[in-house]
Amino acid sequence: MATSHPRVAQGVPWRSIGKILIVIFCVLFLTLPLIEMVKAMIADPQLLVRQLLIGLTNGAYIALIALGYTLVYGIVELINFAHGDLYMLGAFFSLTLVGVFSLTPETPWLIRGPLLVVVLLATMAFTATLNMLVDRWAYRRLRGIGSRMAALISAIGISFVFQNLGLLWGYLRFPFMNGVMGSNAVAPKSFPALFPNVNLLAGTGVRFGAKDLIVVGVSVVLLAALYVFVTRTRLGKAMRATAQDRDAAALMGIDVNRTISLAFILGGALAGASGMLVGLYNGTAVFDMGFTAGLRSFTAAVLGGIGNIVGAMLGGLLIGIISALSDQYISTKWTNAVVFGILVIILVYRPTGLLGDDTAQKA
């Protein structure tokens, strides 16, 4: 350009000095810890593998929640703040059913196995329905009027409502629940150890329990089913079409509101499954467990490229593994800083996320 703006660079190259300072800072503060980390990883490969496997398990349940964020965002561009809390309600619902069915670690597998499947399906149905109804009552009316802020604020409100619902749930002492909520209403609730506590890799020095396999296995099945649904079926394609162009979808005869409901139903079902799996895996559920899980899952969705289904799965896996490595090699207290630091770096250089589309950020 002939008339480009005169740059300050004439006298002092401030920008380069800034860059040099950042590089020096990074070298000083990051090199040594990084070297230490790598040394520690090499020194004890078994520990590294163990952490990676923990990351895989955590990644699986994070991916399940992340999909709910990404499906809904992809189609209505709403960050569904209440989604993490929906996952918590899934955990509470499944715990209640565990009480109703009087499932204990002594229940024979022939009965326990099928009943656990029933609990899983019922929980998914519960959170799916709840998510769909909340969309109808609290979000749908706010769509298309004013700014997107209205629906976002509504979602934040629902998040608090859900958390208080979780607190209220802790007070429930119906006889048919068989005392599953414990004696203290606010305290974390305990699940009975219904997943077998066997190390599948016993003798190798690495731990991958049967319960890890259940969490990962169920997640993979659900993720695969969702992927096939969205890419291969008529309704799944209609959902992608609606995400890409709502008016054009309506002109194809697609009922847009129903398709949006479908996104909430699918996302809700996956969150419920995640809540049950994590509850049984960790043996505990508490009314505010949805906050951190929701935040990490949302991060996973953004990391993978929000609106992108495979991106949410990949993002979940990455967040799971990074967290597990950070827990072990840095400090659990630093994990959130590390996870979000990496998110910031990736977003600065790739604002649409790892698999996000450059032209648009949806589906």
Binding region for other proteins (CB under 8 A):
234, 237-238, 240-241, 244-245, 247-256, 357, 359-360, 362-363
Q: Report the residue number, 146 or 175, with the smaller CB distance to other proteins.
A: 146
Q: Report the residue number, 154 or 242, with the smaller CB distance to other proteins.
A: 242
Neighbouring residues of 261: CB distance < 8 A, sequence distance ≥ 6: 132, 135, 136
| Of the candidates 90, 83, 38, the residue with the CA atom closest to the CA atom of residue 65 | 83
Q: How many residues make up the chain in this entry?
A: 363
Half-sphere exposure (Cβ direction) of 115: Cα atoms closer than 13 Å:
20
Integer angstrom CA distances of residue 273 from 62, 68, 119, 193, 249: 11, 12, 9, 17, 30
Amino acid present at 141? R
Q: Report the residue number, 177 or 256, with the smaller CB distance to other proteins.
A: 256
Phi then psi for residue 285, to 5 deg, are: -145, 140
- Residue 320's CB is within 10 A of a number of other CB atoms, namely 24
Distance of closest approach, residue 180 Cβ to other proteins, in angstroms: 44
Distance of closest approach, residue 252 Cβ to other proteins, in angstroms: 5
Distance of closest approach, residue 148 Cβ to other proteins, in angstroms: 18
Distance of closest approach, residue 354 Cβ to other proteins, in angstroms: 17
49 exposure class (CB count in 10 Å sphere: 0-12, 13-18, 19+): middle
Q: Report the residue number, 21 or 360, with the smaller CB distance to other proteins.
A: 360
Q: Report the residue number, 194 or 306, with the smaller CB distance to other proteins.
A: 306
Between CA 213 and CA 317, with CA 283 as vertex, the angle to 5 degrees is 45
Distance of closest approach, residue 245 Cβ to other proteins, in angstroms: 5
Q: Report the residue number, 6 or 253, with the smaller CB distance to other proteins.
A: 253
Q: Report the residue number, 106 or 358, with the smaller CB distance to other proteins.
A: 358
Q: Report the residue number, 234 or 333, with the smaller CB distance to other proteins.
A: 234
Distance of closest approach, residue 253 Cβ to other proteins, in angstroms: 3
DSSP-based three-state secondary structure for 352: coil
Q: Which two tokens stand for residue 82?
A: 């209440």
Distance of closest approach, residue 140 Cβ to other proteins, in angstroms: 14
- Residue 152's CB is within 10 A of a number of other CB atoms, namely 17
| Cα 356 to Cα 304: distance, rounded to the nearest angstrom | 7
Q: Which two tokens stand for residue 290?
A: 């949805």
Distance of closest approach, residue 226 Cβ to other proteins, in angstroms: 17
